[in-house]
């Protein structure tokens, strides 16, 4: 048995994901595959297009054996925390042999050298970094130039600014930090750029699919860019009025929440600093919808994704204090199964004896005794309850989905 771990969002599962899965299995020689997948809120601070069980079903229909949910406290966070949470979860299962991630670089060695430098911070690198900061450069630029001087990579700016390279470096950092025996692999991304909005060829980005759905009612074109089973599941969820869910689905809820919260409460949210809480509060009073809210808050200093994550944290009440109470720096405290195949069932039986964290197959029977783990799980349940308020069909907007939707078994 050789177990491959993948870190995913599948929002939704498209041909690029199928390519990544197929090539990753071949590259590693995997017999079994585990996907750690974000739940209903994602790393960019957005709700998923369709709920986590549909996306998990897409995954096992297309070749994943076991889908485990990445807790929302990691899933909707910076690249560093997202990557650490996912890698720590795979590591704690005790059976994963390798991970394989897509990257713009396509070669592992340069990414490993960067990750190792950032983890170990050799004196020479720290000296370069200190000198660049003294010159008045912003930290990201200072870090890039310090890495360039230390490692001698001429085009390092492109390497550390490309989204999948950034995540890849963070995965490698997490492996170093955990002292994990998991072997990393990378494959080059093909065709569509991560942020591309264009539907062309047969492989496009998930961003392009979501953008298309937000502006078009005719969905047949999407069948070119998604595997047949995934496309069918997405269309059925749209027909059932469970999708699509967009940030705009939370317009009124978001404005209410921000108008209600005090500046001091906003200040305690992760990543809020330098008076941003005042800007958010003022924008919430002026904006009439989510799009206007973002436009009023954004600055050169804060990326749009960072602002979006802050807004989701406000919706969840996920403060810095709450994060600390969950001991989130140690990684996920449980592994919750969303979907599996017959080979996934083999993995589940094995994980029960190898995992250092409890396995949850039924939320109603979860035996979670640790207070920090209970707190972490409570935010996953809250995230689902809030997410359900964004369904197009009002008949689906009740709470408690986590308590009655069981993991999907693909026979």
Which residues belong to CATH 3.40.50 in the chain?
3-104+186-245+326-410
Which residue's structure tokens are 């997202």?
82
- Average pLDDT in the 328-350 region? 96
pLDDT band at 194 (very low <50, low <70, confident <90, very high): very low
- Average pLDDT in the 224-248 region? 95
CA 264 vs. chain centroid, Å, equals 28
pLDDT band at 202 (very low <50, low <70, confident <90, very high): low
d(CA 263, CA 267): 6
Grouping H, G, I as helix, E, B as strand and the rest as coil, residue 293 is: helix
Which residues make beta-bridge pairs with 359? 335
d(CA 310, CA 269): 7
Which residues make beta-bridge pairs with 140? none
Q: In the chain, what's the furthest Cα-to-Cα distance?
A: 61
CATH pick for 3-104+186-245+326-410 out of 2.60.40, 3.40.50, 3.30.1380, 1.10.287: 3.40.50
Question: Which run of H or of E encompasses 286?
Answer: helix 276-286
- Average pLDDT in the 346-363 region? 97
Which residue's structure tokens are 């759905």?
213
Task: Enumerate the known binding-site residues for ATP.
Answer: 7-20, 102, 164, 189
Q: Looking at residue 198, what is its pLDDT? A: 52
pLDDT tens digits for range 108-162: 999 999 999 999 999 999 999 999 999 988 787 888 889 999 998 878 888 888 9
Judge contact between 61 and 96, C-beta under 8 A.
no
For 47, which DSSP code?
B
- Average pLDDT in the 300-317 region? 93
Task: Enumerate the known binding-site residues.
Answer: 7-20, 102, 164, 189
Share of the chain above pLDDT 90, in %: 81
The residue with greater pLDDT, 152 or 177, is 177
In 10 A of CB 365, how many CB atoms? 7
Judge contact between 24 and 30, C-beta under 8 A.
yes
């Amino acid at each position: 048995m050789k177990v491959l771990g993948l870190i995913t969002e599948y929002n939704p599962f498209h041909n690029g994901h199928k390519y990544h899965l197929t090539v990753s299995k071949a590259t590693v020689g995997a017999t079994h595959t585990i996907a750690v997948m974000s739940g209903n809120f994602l790393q960019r601070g957005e709700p998923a297009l369709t709920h986590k069980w549909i996306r998990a079903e897409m995954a096992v229909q297309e070749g994943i054996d076991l889908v485990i949910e990445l807790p929302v406290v990691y899933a909707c966070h910076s690249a560093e925390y997202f990557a650490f949470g996912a890698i720590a979860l795979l590591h704690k299962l005790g059976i994963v042999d390798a991970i394989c991630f897509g990257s713009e670089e396509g070669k592992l060695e340069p990414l490993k050298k960067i990750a190792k430098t950032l983890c170990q911070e050799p004196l020479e690198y720290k000296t370069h970094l200190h000198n660049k900061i003294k010159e008045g450069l912003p930290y990201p630029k200072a870090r890039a130039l310090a890495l360039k001087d230390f490692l001698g990579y001429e085009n390092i700016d492109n390497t550390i600014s490309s989204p999948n390279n950034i995540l890849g470096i963070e995965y490698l950092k997490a492996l170093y930090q955990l002292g994990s025996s998991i072997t990393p692999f990378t494959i080059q991304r093909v065709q569509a750029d991560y942020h591309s909005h264009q539907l062309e060829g047969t492989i496009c980005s998930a961003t392009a699919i979501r953008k298309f759905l937000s502006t078009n009612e005719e969905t047949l074109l999407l069948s070119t860019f998604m595997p047949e089973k995934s496309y069918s599941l997405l269309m059925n969820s749209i027909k059932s009025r469970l999708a699509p869910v967009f940030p705009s689905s939370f317009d009124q809820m978001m404005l209410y929440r921000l108008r209600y919260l005090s500046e001091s409460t906003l200040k305690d949210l992760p990543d809020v600093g330098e008076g941003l809480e005042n800007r958010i509060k003022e924008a919430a009073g002026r904006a009439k919808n989510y799009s206007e809210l973002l436009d009023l808050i954004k600055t050169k200093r804060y990326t749009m994704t960072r602002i979006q994550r802050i807004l989701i944290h406000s919706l969840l009440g996920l403060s810095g204090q709450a994060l600390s109470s969950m001991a989130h720096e140690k990684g996920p405290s449980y592994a919750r199964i969303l979907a599996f195949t017959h080979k996934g069932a083999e993995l589940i039986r094995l994980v029960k004896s190898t995992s250092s964290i409890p396995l949850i197959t039924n939320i109603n029977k979860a035996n979670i005794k640790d207070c920090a783990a209970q707190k972490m799980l409570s935010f996953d349940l809250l995230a689902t309850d809030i997410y359900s308020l964004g369904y197009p069909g009002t008949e689906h907007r009740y709470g408690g989905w986590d308590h009655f939707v069981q993991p999907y078994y693909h026979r």
